[in-house]
Structure 1
Amino acid sequence: MLLMLVVASCLTFVTRLVYFSTVNGGWSDVFPQPWLSLAMSQRERSLEKPCRPKTHLFFLKTHKTASSTVLNIMYRFGEARNLTLALPVAYQFGYPQLFDTRTVKSYNATNKQEYHIICNHMRFYKPQVEKLMPNDTFYFSILRSPVTWMESSFAYYKDTARAFSNVTSLEQFLEDPWSHYSPTSSGSHYARNCMWFDFGFDHNEGDTPAYVDSVIGKIANTFHLILIAEYFDQSMVLLQEALCWDLDDVLSFKLNPRGNGTVVPLSATTADQIRAWNSLDWKLYLHFNRTFWQKVDLYGRQRMSEKVVLLQEARQKMRDLCLERGRPVDPSQILDKTIIPFQYGRARIQGYNLNTNLTPATRERCLRMILPELHYKDLLDAKAHPPAGPREHPPW
């Protein structure tokens, strides 16, 4: 019995020592500060200090990474709590130029307004972001395997990226990419290392260990959490835990899915060529995929599995409640033509039909979950910046 008490006391001491060292900046290489909320359960955190939902949020919306679904989560969270969102003048913050506060609608540099949430497409530039966001802002983003990313990017940007314009297939492009690609051509970032580019770095820089380590270090020191698209549900659990939100706050339907007819299977050879061509993105993905699973281990694998089941069950209940036939449909089959997702490139972007027997309140909740990002941005824009006078009817 005495031995058991001694062991228990030692374990308690070690646990408190790790916690003390973490929150005071010690052992930063082993337990970086952003991991703290993921290393401790909500109950454990509540014993140390009250767990309050985070409302100062920066989400770097990378391209073709399931980021539109995350954007919808941010929009719904902010709208439900009447938070202030920084919205772009158009639909992106001056992309592909580096972010500048002048692209934020109604931002006044003299009367500097602090925002709760910023989450639309941008090319990240921290000094300008910090002009908008307070010091306690939680920074996060999402990555996707460059292999599936490039297959999607080719379908979506076939007519936008000049590198893709003269080839009939992704395989043809990858056989000799430099005969089609120019670093200075229009949309070149859509054809190579786009995630690296979105984080604000040169997507054509030489792939050297020193450069890669430097960039990854800068990203790791800025962003508290990097989600992984292939493990979306696990990502949502980590995000919910890190932000001290309820599980319902990260509930979502997949937005902007492509119809199966536009998804092209890739051979092992093509996949290897994609990794080589997008080597900066591949190394970025490998690093943060590894640290992602380290965070899952800190959270607890069994605990994660149980939470993912709860999330999936809750999503299925909402799917049954909200969605006709419970699945996305081709844009031609969407009954409400005002909420058809924006169609771009050669992809067929699917959307949803709502069940017709919903109460008004339930319908509004369901509608927010399927609302395409451009439509949702316009809705939030109209609420935040209502017209000064009565709207004029168009002459037609």
Structure 2
Amino acid sequence: MKVKIYFAMLWYCLLTLVTVKDKRNHPFQLTGADFGQASVTLNHSAASRRDLFLLKTHKTGSSTLQNILARYAWENKLFVGLPAGSILFRSYHRGKPFSIQELQSVSRSFNMMFHHMVFNRNEVSLALPQDAIFVTILRDPATLFRSAFKYFRDVSSPFRRAKDVGLDGFLRAPNAYFKGPEDGGYWWLAKNGMFYDLGFDNMNESTEYVKRSIRLIDETFQLVIITEYFDIGILLLKEIMHWTVKDVVYVTMNARKHGASGRSREAPQLSQKIYNWNKADTALYQYFNASFWNRVKEFGEEKLKSELKELQFWKRYYRESCFEDDMIPNERVNDEIFRMFSPNELSIMQYQLRNSAKNNRTCIGMILPEHQWWRMMSYRQRIVSNSDWRLLDGMLWDII
């Protein structure tokens, strides 16, 4: 991969010495020639908003939301605040708040940020325009905690200690496994992980502190999407940003095998234990689940029905045009470019490109993993000025 990128950069330098007319289709544009159907393009209103911050949370569907934003940013030549060195900010490994010093240096200001971090409002505000929209996504703690325990069992120190006793054993005596702050990597995921990622003390579950924290979150974030109603949430996002329905079309990313329909049916008592152990996350979810439906009411029932129908149409269109009928586990994905990362050798279910779509950038972009977007955006933002984007776009797509 590094060799390919080196030659792509060398080729770019040579091409700047001559006049070149680039006849490639613009990234993320479907044409009739692609699928033998009527031409489809992604048109945007002149009033579309471009500046957005997503606080990416764990096991909430945020990878799918991130992919939507990455495609929009790429198509519209937006600058994204990227972590320096890898897809995670250095501070996040240690559970420390984000610092603007951790961003890759580029020649202009950023439009978007959408990677994992422990939220630091002051530092994020320094990196983005003042009118940037702030968005995050929350999930019912009962299902989130089950998923996190399995996914992070070798990564989060408290979960690793409880591998032999399982989730039920952990919840019977959580303090035997959870040792508190700075207890190894990703320690906070084992207690009020969403609350902590939003920048608050996950150890303080006093009613007054949690209420005050939720008020601050409500004042900061213009939209909090609820995982269980993801399609409705992205339509609310579309509305705030003045985008089109096609701008938020997606296929599911980073879904664990049997993660939804195959989930075991634990006793309700287990869910209650999760709520009791994660009081701050539970209060957070309950508050924003209620406010979410207030936003839906403002959106309008008839408009929602119409746009959900349109969204389902485009999801089905791209799924049938771009991808094979059956998803496959990530370990069976032959092309490492598309292979999703998963710890603990867990199977992550992925779509495979149809042969007819293997050169289509829209289809590729929908299943391109986070680390590949990070790599492509890193090179594009470092190497060229705005006037050169179109030329480099084609080369970056060629090397994948």
Report the TM-score range of the alignment, normalised by the length of the smaller protein: 0.7 to 0.9
Q: How far does residue 298 in structure 1 lie from its aligned partner after superposition?
A: 1.0
> Do the aligned partners of 1:336 and 1:353 also contact (CA within 8 Å) in 2?
no
Give SS of 1:320's match: helix
Q: Which amino acid aligns with 1:128?
A: E
CA distance in 2, matches of 1:92, 1:159: 18
Does 2:142 correspond to 1:147? yes
Query: % of aligned pairs identical?
Result: 29
Q: Which consecutive residues of structure 1, in runs of 5 or more, have no partner in the other structure?
A: 1-49, 388-396
Q: Which amino acid aligns with 1:269?
A: Q
Q: How far does residue 337 in structure 1 lie from its aligned partner after superposition?
A: 2.9
Partner residue of 2:199? Answer: 200
Among 147, 155, 159, the alignment partner of 2:154 is 159
Partner residue of 1:342? Answer: 341
Does 2:144 correspond to 1:177? no
Among 58, 61, 76, the alignment partner of 1:63 is 58
Alignment deviations for residues 62-94 of structure 1 (CA, whole Å, 9 cap, x no partner): 111100011111110010011111110121223
CA distance in 1, matches of 2:70, 2:46: 22
Q: How far does residue 335 in structure 1 lie from its aligned partner after superposition?
A: 3.4
Q: Which amino acid aligns with 2:309?
A: V
> Do the aligned partners of 1:335 and 1:353 also contact (CA within 8 Å) in 2?
no
Partner residue of 1:97? Answer: 96
Partner residue of 2:77? Answer: 82
Alignment deviations for residues 350-382 of structure 1 (CA, whole Å, 9 cap, x no partner): 22210002373xx21100000111121112112
Q: Which amino acid aligns with 2:282?
A: W
Q: How far does residue 265 in structure 1 lie from its aligned partner after superposition?
A: 3.5
Q: How far does residue 317 in structure 1 lie from its aligned partner after superposition?
A: 0.7
Q: How far does residue 129 in structure 1 lie from its aligned partner after superposition?
A: 0.9
> Do the aligned partners of 1:334 and 1:352 also contact (CA within 8 Å) in 2?
no
Alignment deviations for residues 120-157 of structure 1 (CA, whole Å, 9 cap, x no partner): 11111011111111111111110011111111111111
Deviates more, 1:74-83 or 1:303-312: 303-312
> Do the aligned partners of 1:62 and 1:198 also contact (CA within 8 Å) in 2?
yes
Residues 255, 364 of structure 1: CA spacing in aligned structure 2 closer, same or farther, 3 A cutoff?
same
Q: How far does residue 51 in structure 1 lie from its aligned partner after superposition?
A: 7.1
Greater CA radius of gyration, 1 or 2? 1
Q: How far does residue 303 in structure 1 lie from its aligned partner after superposition?
A: 2.3
Using structure 2 for the length normalisation, give the TM-score. 0.79
Partner residue of 1:29? Answer: none
Q: How far does residue 329 in structure 1 lie from its aligned partner after superposition?
A: 1.2
Residues 188, 225 of structure 1: CA spacing in aligned structure 2 closer, same or farther, 3 A cutoff?
same
Using structure 1 for the length normalisation, give the TM-score. 0.80
Partner residue of 1:47? Answer: none
Partner residue of 1:266? Answer: 266
Alignment deviations for residues 241-275 of structure 1 (CA, whole Å, 9 cap, x no partner): 11100101111111001111884443201111001
CA distance in 1, matches of 2:228, 2:304: 15
CA distance in 1, matches of 2:367, 2:124: 29
Does 2:204 correspond to 1:209? no
Does 2:369 correspond to 1:369? no
Among 372, 382, 398, the alignment partner of 1:385 is 382
Deviates more, 1:294-303 or 1:75-84: 294-303
Superposition CA RMSD, Å: 1.8
CA distance in 2, matches of 1:266, 1:287: 25
CA distance in 1, matches of 2:117, 2:287: 22
Partner residue of 2:132? Answer: 137
Does 2:120 correspond to 1:125? yes
Partner residue of 1:293? Answer: 293
Q: How far does residue 208 in structure 1 lie from its aligned partner after superposition?
A: 2.2
Alignment deviations for residues 217-261 of structure 1 (CA, whole Å, 9 cap, x no partner): 100111101001100000011111111001011111110011118
Q: Aligned pairs, how many?
A: 330
Partner residue of 2:240? Answer: 242
Q: Which consecutive residues of structure 2, in runs of 5 or more, have no partner in the other structure?
A: 1-44, 385-400
